[in-house]
Copies of this chain bind each other. A is one copy, B any other.
């Protein structure tokens, strides 16, 4: 149960050097000279249709495989950022001031360390999630994307989307994709400085596409995505076959998007998600995010498909299902899953 891990790479920059390089800290004007009083950022959650699972480098958050996602408008994070002086950052999440030792606050402050204009600077962060935190609905993706946008606004950097995506990636891998509405592709990259591993928008609309959020359990998950993927990379022998599969699925998903080939999109996304969960289960100790209700929901989806309703699902590192279907199937889906929230990302 100890897999060989030929995936690790050595970074050629520290995270701080990476940040400085992205925002141009060493240029003639200071990167912090034009700061406003208050910065604002807003970003949607995104759902990967072809998943990110595994890091080749942890300090720069470099992935082992690329991924493709769809953002969900209306679900995400809004963040206000102000600079001040004090002992430590003040982080308000959904109107509640967090204790500084709370994991969420510690992780956020560690990220903000890369952006302090001077050693006494602290931030006041006011962040509002419209998705339950840590519920497998990728609130860290929208969270770090919104935070980077707020930093960009606060310090008036006017960074390109590509640079914003690079910074968001440092906060949370999948945040690199949350800078964009609609479809986005996060390139795996190959450079040891991580400068080529960013996401960009896929310029395709698909108004008929629907995403259903089938919530099984929205409580905090026992194993974080980061811990889960590291454990998988380190101990799952089946993971050896994942990078090639992920690369192939990524191509298929992009092809499906370009051709509006819904069957290809759905099959590939469902198979990709189940394959990712497969690598987790084959890990020691096993990582099974599924709850009994997750399996019941899967069987319900397959039963619908057997009846001719073309619906597929995807799942992130959590127990919830996200259904994929076209607008024409909406009545049948609504009948089967009455309480489910349905989003049409392009409408």
Residues of A within 8 A of B (CB): 1, 237-242, 244-245, 248, 267-268, 270-271, 274-275, 277-279, 281-282, 284-286, 288, 290-296, 298-299, 302
Determine if A245 and B241 form an interchain contact, defined as CB atoms under 8 angstroms apart. Answer: no
Determine if A271 and B275 form an interchain contact, defined as CB atoms under 8 angstroms apart. Answer: no
In the complex, what residues of B have CB within 8 A of residue A284's CB?
267, 271
CB distance from A5 to the nearest CB of B (A): 13
Known: A238-B279, A278-B279, A278-B282. 10 other contacts (CB 8 A): A237-B248, A238-B238, A238-B275, A267-B284, A277-B278, A281-B281, A286-B298, A288-B295, A290-B295, A291-B299
Q: Please, how many angstroms separate the alpha-carbon atoms of A277 and B248 in the complex?
A: 22
Copies of this chain, how many? 2
Determine if A1 and B268 form an interchain contact, defined as CB atoms under 8 angstroms apart. Answer: yes
Q: A238-B242, A295-B292 in contact; A275/B268 too (CB < 8 A)?
A: no
In the complex, what residues of B have CB within 8 A of residue A270's CB?
286
Contact of A282 among B271, B293, B299 (CB under 8 A): B271
CB distance from A173 to the nearest CB of B (A): 21
Closest residue on chain B to residue A1 by CB atoms: B271
In the complex, what residues of B have CB within 8 A of residue A245's CB?
237-238
Q: A238-B245, A271-B282, A282-B275 in contact; A295/B298 too (CB < 8 A)?
A: no
Contact of A274 among B241, B244, B281, B298 (CB under 8 A): B281
In the complex, what residues of B have CB within 8 A of residue A278's CB?
238, 277-279, 281-282
Q: Please, how many angstroms separate the alpha-carbon atoms of A274 and B295 in the complex?
A: 15
Determine if A291 and B282 form an interchain contact, defined as CB atoms under 8 angstroms apart. Answer: no
Q: Please, how many angstroms separate the alpha-carbon atoms of A245 and B267 in the complex?
A: 27
Determine if B295 and A237 form an interchain contact, defined as CB atoms under 8 angstroms apart. Answer: no
Determine if B237 and A275 form an interchain contact, defined as CB atoms under 8 angstroms apart. Answer: yes
Q: Please, how many angstroms separate the alpha-carbon atoms of A291 and B284 in the complex?
A: 22
Determine if B298 and A267 form an interchain contact, defined as CB atoms under 8 angstroms apart. Answer: no
In the complex, what residues of B have CB within 8 A of residue A290's CB?
295
CB distance from A162 to the nearest CB of B (A): 31
A-B pairs, 6 with minimum CB distance: A278-B278, A292-B292, A275-B282, A237-B245, A278-B282, A241-B241
Closest residue on chain B to residue A235 by CB atoms: B271
Q: Please, how many angstroms separate the alpha-carbon atoms of A248 and B286 in the complex?
A: 18
In the complex, what residues of B have CB within 8 A of residue A237's CB?
241, 244-245, 248, 275
Closest residue on chain B to residue A252 by CB atoms: B1
Q: A244-B237, A278-B281 in contact; A1/B267 too (CB < 8 A)?
A: yes
Closest residue on chain B to residue A237 by CB atoms: B245
CB distance from A242 to the nearest CB of B (A): 7
Which of A237, A238, A274, A278 has the largest number of chain B CB atoms within 10 A?
Answer: A238
Q: A237-B248, A238-B241, A241-B237 in contact; A288/B298 too (CB < 8 A)?
A: yes
Determine if B248 and A274 form an interchain contact, defined as CB atoms under 8 angstroms apart. Answer: no
Q: Please, how many angstroms separate the alpha-carbon atoms of A321 and B277 in the complex?
A: 19
In the complex, what residues of B have CB within 8 A of residue A238's CB?
238, 241-242, 245, 275, 278-279
In the complex, what residues of B have CB within 8 A of residue A285's CB?
302
Q: Please, how many angstroms separate the alpha-carbon atoms of A248 and B284 in the complex?
A: 15
In the complex, what residues of B have CB within 8 A of residue A286's CB?
270-271, 274, 298, 302
Q: A238-B241, A245-B238 in contact; A282/B292 too (CB < 8 A)?
A: no
Q: Please, how many angstroms separate the alpha-carbon atoms of A293 and B299 in the complex?
A: 13
